Structure formats: structure tokens, C-alpha cells
Amino acid sequence: MDGVVHILRRFIGVTILICILLFIFNFIMLGSFVFNGMNEKQSPKKILENVVLNLEHKGKSYVLGKPAKKLLAQNHAWSMLIDNTGKVKWNYNLPKEIPLSYTLIDVAKFSRNYLMDYPVFVWKHNDGLVVVGYPKKSYAKYQFYFPISWISSLPMRIVTLFVSNIVLALFLSILIGTKLIKSVKPLIAGVHALSKEEPTYVEVKGIFSDLAESINHTSDILQEKNTALKARDEARSNWIAGISHDIRTPLSIVLGYASELEENMAIPVEQRQQAGIIRKQAQKLRSLVSDLNLVSMLEYEMQPLNLKPVRLSVLARKVASEFLNNGLDERFTITLDISDENIKVKADEKLLLIAINNLVQNSIIHNPNGCKILLKTCISSDNLTCYFIVSDNGKGVPRDKLSKLTELPYSSNKKHSFRNGHGLGLPMVARICQAHHGQLVLESEIGKGMKAIIQLPLYFED
């Protein structure tokens, strides 16, 4: 609904803006046309003034200067001088049909409009009245009379007209926009449904029928693909879960017999060592199956989370004590840097322990010559995010390969497999972080060690 209202607002705003621009454009164009029309030629008033100024009385006759004659000739105009008795005392190119004598009434009639259909213009001269006439149908002369009160109210009338146009434009835009929205609204709902991967059907009618058909067709395709993907994912998950379940029993038997053989003093040393190798490899296989099953569950969001407030300091100490108590090689050291004992997250403690253990194990596996491992907890500057950092000073990883480390080993994006380990550790940690609405950030350079940062939302007690 918000999208529909937004479209309607934009439509109304654009319509009003276009109307205002059209009003201004028309006003400018009208003024330009009127101005250009009035000044297309030399104005009659200027020609008349030029004739009056250049008409001189010499002796018993009158002489018109050359500039004035030139202007009259260019405009196909004629002129005459009427004295105070109504007689024509001088003329230039006067048509034959024009009288040479006029009464006061005749002068009053033609002085404002026409003389025998000739548009004429009159100006006072020292010796009478100068008349300049133009060819018939060359000028239109109109007289307008307005009350002073009407002229005074003209600005308000213009404002009223402008506001009326805006109101009319608003009304029309709402009317047209409402009808348009009725056609667009189902399409918008259909697109939103597609974005949520929900099935949708838009009635095919109106000017948007082609678009409606496309939305319906896309919805059908998405539903078919989602169904196929869901079936494939369920099959893959069930296959992994089944394999994991079926392998556990044989693995337990192998581990049990291998342990008995390894501890049986009656068996030669070489065979006991071989039994120990079998036990270790079986343990690795059991770990691999467990990791694969967990990654699969996390990948398809099928892993249930037992969420509760967990202190990061407790996790750090548990991980450190577990590695130290299980006989950590003396080439490796683990130190803690806990900034605040009360930093808490709402998480599945078991999964976070698995993630941290994998990060520490990753540092051990990829640094066979030993390294210093640091477990650090801290809070972001905005007090919204907390960090659990596992870093080492080992050989590090090229920066351009960091983005590939969190991809699954069977991903199509990976071109090279891992030399050490099965490659599920970091992808599993990344997916555990995602399941807790966080993320795993990796920082490393060759020769400068590796830093893995688990970023999680900080937990606030009510």
C-alpha cells in the first residue's frame, strides 16, 4: 500500500509541476507573440511622429523630409495635413477616393479607427492635424475600456486563475492517478509476492495485460523451481543425515576394537601402533561426519538453536582449558584478553564452542611449526556488537584468498581444495555466525598471522 501511495504522490506532484511549467511557458510565449506582433514592423506611432517632425512649412507649401518619405514608402502608407478649417493643406500618396475636406464630425469618426476602411493614425501638428493611413486590411484597430476597479483587481484575478488551474490540475491528476493505480496496484502486489517467492496471480486485463501475463508466468516458473530445489535440498539433507547415522555404528565398533588393540600389552608394539593409527583416523572420520552433518543442517536452516544468554569470557576460558588439558603441543601457546567479564550474547553455547574450537584448531593445523594464539573479547564503539577474536602470529594466508575460505569445499566457486583438513571448519564457523545473526570476518597477510573475528549482536538484559 505504501508503494501505491508513493506512486500516486509522485504522479500528482509531476502533474502539477508540468501544469505550472506549461502555464509559465504559455504566458511567456503569449507575451512574446504579442510583443513580436506589435514590433514586427516600424510602429505606426513612430512613423507618424517622424512625419510630424519632418513636415515643414516653406512659403505657401509644405515639404516632407526624405527619411519620413522613405518610411511611408516602405510601409505603403500615405499622409495628409488637415488645417483647422477641415481642408487638406498637404498630402503624400493620398488615394483618390479620400476626400480633401472634413467636418469636425468626420474627424471625430476616423481619428480613433478607420477612414473609408483605411486604418489611420492621427497626430497634432502646429498647422493642424497630420493623418497617416495604411493599406486596407493591413492593421486591426480595437478599442478597449476597463473600469479602474477592474484594473486594480487584475493581480488578484491572475492569482485566482493560477490557483484555479492548480486545483483543476490536482483534481484531474487525482482522478487519472486513481484509475491508473487501480490498474497498477495488482501488479505491485504481484511483484512484491514474487520478491517473497510466494505464489501469485494477477488478473489479465487492461493496458497492463502483457505485464500481468509475465508476472503470472514468472510466478509459475519460480514455484516450479522452488519445489524442485526444496525436493533436491531435502534429498541431499536426508542423504547426509542417513549416511551420518549409518556410519556412526561401524565407526564406534572400529574405534572400540582399535582402542582395545592399542591398549593390549600382549600384542607386539608395531601392531599396537598400527591400531593407534586406525583409532586416530577413525576419530577424524567421526569428526568429519559430525561436521558434515552440522554444516548441512546449518546450510538448510534445519539445525535447532538452544538460545540462552552466554558470557563470552566463559567460552574463552572453556576453549583455552580444553586445549591445555588435552595436551597442547608446547610449540603453541594460548593467551586470553578479556576486556569485560559481562559481555553476553544470546546464542547456542554448544554451537559457539564448536565454532571457537574450530578456529583454534585451524591455527594449530596450518602452523605446524608452532604459533601464539590469542583469544580476545571486546565490544564495538556503538555498544551494539560484540567481538570474539581468535588470532595467531603464524604464516598467514594471502589476502586475495580470504573470501574463498568460508565457501564449502564442494562449492562451484572453489578452484582449489584444501591440502590440510577437510575444509569444513571455516565454512561451518561462518554458518554458525549467520545462524546467530552475525558474521565471520577474516583478516590475514602472508607472514603476519591470521585473525578470525566472530561478530554477534550484543545481548541486553531486560
- Arithmetic mean of pLDDT, 36-59: 77
- Whether residue 443 contacts residue 423, with contact meaning beta carbons closer than 8 Å, is answered with no
How much is the pLDDT for 289?
67
Give percent of the chain above pLDDT 90. 18
Tell which residue, 26, 29, 30, has the closest CA to residue 165. 26
For 256, residues 6+ apart whose C-beta sits below 8 A from its C-beta are none
Residue 397 predicted with pLDDT over 70: yes
How much is the pLDDT for 386?
93
How far is the C-alpha of 217 from the C-alpha of 202, rounded, in Å?
Answer: 10
What's the alpha-carbon Rg for the chain, to the nearest Å? Answer: 49
20-44 pLDDT, tens digit each: 777 777 777 666 655 554 454 578 8
How much is the pLDDT for 459?
87
Burial of 145 (0-12, 13-18, 19+ CB in 10 A): exposed
Residue 220 predicted with pLDDT over 90: no
- Tell me the residue ranges of DSSP E strands in 273-424: 307-311, 332-338, 344-348, 371-379, 385-392
How far is the C-alpha of 432 from the C-alpha of 297, rounded, in Å?
Answer: 10
Most confident option among 86-95, 202-211, 324-333 = 86-95
320-359 pLDDT, tens digit each: 998 888 888 889 999 999 988 888 998 888 888 888 988 9
Strand order in the sheet with 118-125: 88-92, 78-82, 128-133, 118-125, 114-115
Give residue 302's pLDDT band: very low, low, confident or very high (50, 70, 90).
low
Pairing of strands 332-338, 371-379: parallel
Give residue 170's pLDDT band: very low, low, confident or very high (50, 70, 90).
confident
How much is the pLDDT for 118?
92
Residue 109 predicted with pLDDT over 50: yes
How much is the pLDDT for 32?
63
Tell which wins on pLDDT, 48 or 174.
48
Topology of domain 210-297, CATH: Helix Hairpins (1.10.287)
Burial of 404 (0-12, 13-18, 19+ CB in 10 A): middle
CATH of 305-457, one of 3.90.1150.10, 3.30.565.10, 3.40.50.12780, 3.30.450.20: 3.30.565.10
